[in-house]
Amino acid sequence: MTTSDNISGIYFLGIGGIGMSALARYFSFCGKHVAGYDRTPSELTHALEKEGIAVQYEDDVDSLPQWLSDKGACLVVRTPAVPETNALYQWFLQRGYTVRKRAEVLGIVTRDRKALCVAGTHGKTTTSTILAHLLRQSQVGTNAFLGGISNNYHTNLLLDDKSDFVVVEADEFDRSFHHLSPYMSIITAVDPDHLDIYGTAEAYRESFEHYTSLIQSTLIVKQGVALTPRLTAEARQFTYGVVETPRSNDLPDFYADAIRIAEGQIDFDFHTPTCVIHNMRLGVPVWINIENSVAAMAMAWLNGVSEDELRKGLASFAGVYRRFNVYINTSRLTMVDDYAHHPTELQASLQSLRRVFPHRHLIAVFQPHLYTRTRDFADAFARALAQANEVVLLPIYPAREIPIEGICSEMLMDKICLCGNEDVTIVEKSELPTYLRQRVEQKGECAVMMLGAGDIDRLVQPVAEELRKEFD
């Protein structure tokens, strides 16, 4: 993976994003000048600063690094999360700097490798991180640009000069994945999302269908996904899935069955088109990870990872930051943090926790993300959250949006109540740790799940510390 020799410096607008930070780390590794702007300090931006990458938090042009004065030798990379009104973005445009989207740059730097891409509404980050780990600990090896921080490697960037492969999370937001050149791709789901960008569910699905036309070798798609691939004549297609009830017809090409849950562990058998690998153990025992791991193992197996390497790799997978991270797990209390922010993700995450801890009082703590997403999927959010015993809502996290009249957590609370669950409360962020400790005290054996894509992650440690005072 190389960049043009005449580019000596890269400036990132939105450097704190998970995808942007991986590119920043890559270019820093390549010996380029790297700096960037982000509106909000975070653990990720602080980590970049410790690695020697300058980050500014004000859109002040006077704070830009001196090396940017040679605009012909500099590239500016922007994420769509940074608005066009941003003063730094406008300054670069007005002075004729080359500005590229993150997806464009990712497509360029991965083009000379075999890109193993993971696309889909849900499960991209976990599936791609499992895949990267399986390849990394095998004789195959891989590079990887991940959409989350791997708990095995404590980074979102893996580099391997000896491997021809690169694992990439193919993001559909703003049709970004159309800039990629997938050698192989997994598609996990095409449930509508980002309707503020796409407008309709049909346009969203069509974007995935166009993406399939870019695949050079192989598509691995979840069985039952409503998609009509547009593969080239040279490309092949496989399906994957989870088989809970034994059946002999209409089986996916790759699947898990004989699933066993005992003492907080999940084991299953993995079927390929030519063999069965028995007694696979999930390193992170979460139900939804069975499906994610089947997709990842299918792609790893097709690229030469051995049965023994698959078994060892899956068992040693330690998860992804904010993807079903278990912070407390005692005989009385389990506390989990998860990035789920779409109704289907919420339902899958809550069901996963319920299946492992079926008898505990389940408290779902949810921070809605974006006014438009809350508006577009309010009924589905309500149905998903209503399956918990108790729901705690935080105010909507606006991100890049301005408020929409009538769209608020109170509206969502009313809809959850209409779904049959009236144990719903709206709590301010500052009050959440104390409130949850009091609720767990009252309810006894509990499973608390923190859910959302906003800044709820900043509350996880304070909540865990408060709960540990009494229950750890």
Which residues of the chain have a pLDDT value below 50?
1-3
Q: Which tens digit of pLDDT belongs to each residue from 202-230?
A: 999 999 999 999 999 999 999 999 999 99
Core vs surface per residue 180-218: b (16+ CB within 10 A) or e: bbbbbbbbbbbbbbbbeebeeeeebbbbbeebbebbebb
| Residues written for the chain | 472
Name the phi and psi angles at 470, rounded to 5.
Answer: -115, -25
Planar angle of CA 295, 144, 220, nearest 5 degrees: 25
Q: What is the pLDDT of residue 352?
A: 85
| The predicted structure's pLDDT at residue 471 | 67
39-80 pLDDT per residue, tens: 989 889 999 999 999 999 999 999 999 999 999 999 999 988
| Tokens of residue 235, six digits | 């490309």
Of 222, 147, 145, give the one whose Cα is nearest residue 185.
222
In this predicted structure, what is the pLDDT of residue 1? Answer: 36
Non-local (6+) Cβ contacts of 263 within 8 A are none
